[in-house]
Amino acid sequence: MAAIATQDMDQTAAAGPAASDRPKGKGTVELRGVTKRFDGIAAVDHVDLTVPGGSYVVLLGPSGCGKTTLLRMLGGHATIDEGEFLLDGVRTNDVPPARRDISTVFQHYGLFPHKSVRDNVEFGLKMRGLPRDARRRRAEEALTFLDLTPMADRRPRQLSGGQQQRVALARALVTEPTVLLLDEPLGDLDRLLQLRMRVELRALQRRLRITFIHVTHNQEEALAIADQIVVMQDGRIQQVGSPQDVYRHPVNLFTSGFMGDNNVVPGRVSAIGDGEVWVEGDGLSLLARHDGAGVAVGQNLHASVRASSVSAKPAIANGNALPERPNEVVATLIFLEYLGDIVKLHCRLANGQTVVAKRAENVRAWEGLVEGEMVRLEWEPEDVQLLLA
């Protein structure tokens, strides 16, 4: 910590000596068929995953999907029933938590209420047997690095939520781990503080260049901070990819629905050719840019279109209804959701299905729109994702 303690919290990833001295790839996590059962039910079910050293990975999924259980196994706070966990190529299943080169920041921080901030930060070093002078020096470096020195003698109850989180981070980082685990670290903070702290977390990880594995159920949070998102459901991984891939190219029905604001249409493949696939839904025709791999004429599947990819305009031109084409449909506006810098238009098709368009441009043009008016919705073939699972 000494070599990086003088860097400001708002610096970018151009790291100081401690980060540049860290071996490339250090902190690589490999999971091979990792399984955890409770009363015979698999909470984590044969998970295979590689987390590159020095990356920021987010485990994302609904409550009960197994993400926190997986994090606990990495930290040594839960046993692995089957499979292997390797840290930098070394099998780590049976290594006690105190001997793993891993630290954890828990959801509720786990600070000792009767100890000062300084003593909280020193605690892990004390458990590792460091002499008092050595642990005091390293604790002071961590406090300086995270801008906590002015409150070093306070108790946790005298701190704000954001300050308590920084104390928990200081306590975790003072042991100089190669992997930092974060279990819903922003869940107890108010909205504005969440926005600020996720920027600080990302900047911190980029400077230190250690592996961060972060658990959340918040899609926006995951998209904002991750190098790689791991989407989980029922103890299994559904998709692994960059935020852009997971957001724009969901691979199955669960990921499409969970990532939010996706219009999912059940349909049947009507034609394939020349890099395009035609899908006919109930009163809706979709054209997708697709090579045809894995699909066949007559196949039932789902098509997904992000709300932000759907454009909207009045359905009437010169007093006449405009004709419909593939990837276009006339719908009735049933609710306009004003969100400041964007609007969401909730529209109902003739078959009763709802389609959502999310528009960021020319917001004022939509503010006077009246519910019950007819609008024309359209999107590009590149924006249609075929969900085969």
pLDDT at residue 14 greater than cutoff 50: no
Domain 2-101+177-248 classified CATH 3.40.50.300?
yes
- Strand ranges, E, within 195-342: 211-216, 228-233, 236-241, 262-273, 276-281, 284-289, 300-306, 311-314, 316-317, 320-321, 328-338
Q: Determine the average pLDDT of the residues in 261-279.
A: 94
Position 109 confidence tier, pLDDT thresholds 50, 70, 90? confident
Q: Is the CB of residue 230 less than 8 Å from the CB of residue 68? A: no
Give the pLDDT confidence score for residue 64 in this predicted structure.
94
Q: Determine the average pLDDT of the residues in 210-214.
A: 97
Is 94 or 368 the better-scoring residue by pLDDT? Answer: 94
Sequence-ordered alpha helix ranges (H) in 37-101: 67-75
Domains 2-101+177-248 and 261-314+327-387 share a fold: no
pLDDT at residue 313 greater than cutoff 90: no
Average pLDDT of the chain to the nearest whole number: 88
pLDDT over 90 percentage in the chain: 65
Give the pLDDT confidence score for residue 321 in this predicted structure.
57
Query: How far apart (Å, rounded) are the C-alpha atoms in residues 383 and 361?
Result: 18
pLDDT at residue 304 greater than cutoff 90: yes
Q: Which two tokens stand for residue 61?
A: 């999924």
pLDDT at residue 325 greater than cutoff 50: yes
Spatial CB neighbours of 284, under 8 Å, sequence gap ≥ 6: 265, 267, 329, 349, 351, 353
Give the pLDDT confidence score for residue 235 in this predicted structure.
97
Record: fold of 261-314+327-387 = OB fold (Dihydrolipoamide Acetyltransferase, E2P) (2.40.50)
pLDDT at residue 1 greater than cutoff 70: no
Give the pLDDT confidence score for residue 6 in this predicted structure.
30
Give the pLDDT confidence score for residue 334 in this predicted structure.
95
Tell me which amino acid residue 46 is: H
Q: Is the CB of residue 68 less than 8 Å from the CB of residue 82? A: no
Q: Determine the average pLDDT of the residues in 147-176.
A: 91
Spatial CB neighbours of 202, under 8 Å, sequence gap ≥ 6: 56, 224, 225
Q: Residue 372 CA to chain centroid, in angstroms?
A: 36
* Of the candidate ranges 150-154, 263-267, 324-328, the one whose mean pLDDT is the lowest: 324-328
Q: Is the CB of residue 100 less than 8 Å from the CB of residue 265? A: no
Task: Give the pTM.
Answer: 0.87
Give the pLDDT confidence score for residue 236 in this predicted structure.
98
Of 149, 146, 144, 155, nearest in space to 120 by CA:
155
pLDDT at residue 61 greater than cutoff 60: yes
pLDDT digits (tens, 9 = 90+) for 237-260: 999 999 999 999 999 999 999 998
Give the pLDDT confidence score for residue 78 in this predicted structure.
96
Q: Is the CB of residue 112 less than 8 Å from the CB of residue 106? A: no
Of 387, 277, 377, nearest in space to 327 by CA:
377
Query: How far apart (Å, rounded) are the C-alpha atoms in residues 146 and 143?
Result: 5
pLDDT at residue 63 greater than cutoff 80: yes
- For every residue of 330-355, DSSP letters joined together read EEEEEEEEE-SS-EEEEEE-TTS-EE
Position 362 confidence tier, pLDDT thresholds 50, 70, 90? low
Q: Determine the average pLDDT of the residues in 217-233.
A: 96
pLDDT at residue 8 greater than cutoff 90: no
Q: Which two tokens stand for residue 106?
A: 């828990």
Q: Determine the average pLDDT of the residues in 288-293.
A: 92
Distance of CA 327 to CAs 83, 321, 336, 388, Å? Answer: 46, 16, 22, 19
The phi-psi region of residue 246 (left if phi > 0; otherwise alpha if psi is between -120 and 50; otherwise beta) is alpha
Position 110 confidence tier, pLDDT thresholds 50, 70, 90? confident
Is 318 or 234 the better-scoring residue by pLDDT? Answer: 234
Query: How far apart (Å, rounded) are the C-alpha atoms in residues 86 and 27?
Result: 10
Give the pLDDT confidence score for residue 128 in this predicted structure.
82
Of 210, 225, 212, 183, nearest in space to 70 by CA:
183
Domain regions of the chain by residue span: 2-101+177-248, 261-314+327-387
Is 127 or 34 the better-scoring residue by pLDDT? Answer: 34
Q: Determine the average pLDDT of the residues in 76-98.
A: 96
* Of the candidate ranges 191-195, 269-273, 288-292, 301-305, the one whose mean pLDDT is the lowest: 191-195
pLDDT at residue 318 greater than cutoff 60: no
Give the pLDDT confidence score for residue 107 in this predicted structure.
78
